[in-house]
Amino acid sequence: NITVQGIYQLTIQLGLLFFGVQFLTDCSKGYGTDGDCQKLEPNGQGKDRSGNYRDTVIYNTFVWMQLFNEINCRRIFNELNMMKGVFNNPIFVGIWVFSACVQFASVQFGGKVFHTVPLDVYDWVSCIAVGAFSLVLGIFQRFVPICCVSSAAPPPEEDQSQFVTVAVPGGAGSRASGLTARLLDEGL
């Protein structure tokens, strides 16, 4: 899972860095959008010279990919429905919404601190859509088999009395201990 998301995120970030000026345009007007669009300069700057438009898109896209990947990472046994129970955890939802709000504020209003420039609506939608694609990629990566590489050394002997068998989707059992077993039983 880490490998698939890492390759996707690295490809997107490097693509934006090296080819972003070829397809990104700055249609922003202050904090809104107008019809007067300008192609980016080769260094990535748009209308607002106080920051770099391309770098702001890269930063925004990166954070949205991380936010949506947090949802992917909630399910640890490759269950297809990564949204199951997401609203049952108010702490997770609160942190996710807070992070999204901070991201919006840091891009649109945090220019001096974060060296960002306000993005137009089209680039906001694009950044969020690229980030949300992590969810789609997360579904497909669940079908990729995880290969086990056997090591030359035998596994260490463990005290089997501390483990309990926990039912997981698909009817298989998994060994877990203590807090892990309780969390899995409660669906967290």
pLDDT at 60: 96
Could you tell me which of 72, 45, 69 has the C-alpha nearest to residue 57? 45
Helices 53-72, 90-108: axis angle to 10 degrees equals 180
pTM of the model: 0.73
The answer for residues whose C-beta is within 8 angstroms of residue 21's C-beta and 6 or more apart is 39, 40, 41, 42, 43, 44, 54
pLDDT at 28: 76
Tell whether the torsion through CA atoms of 90, 91, 94 and 95 is positive or negative. negative
pLDDT at 67: 96
d(CA 105, CA 119): 11
pLDDT at 145: 75
d(CA 174, CA 168): 7
pLDDT tens for 109-125 read 988 888 898 888 889 99
pLDDT at 162: 56
pLDDT at 30: 59
pLDDT at 149: 44
Q: Which positions of the chain have pLDDT values less than 70?
A: 30-35, 147-188
Q: Which tokens hold the place of 83?
A: 């949204």
d(CA 16, CA 52): 13
pLDDT at 48: 77
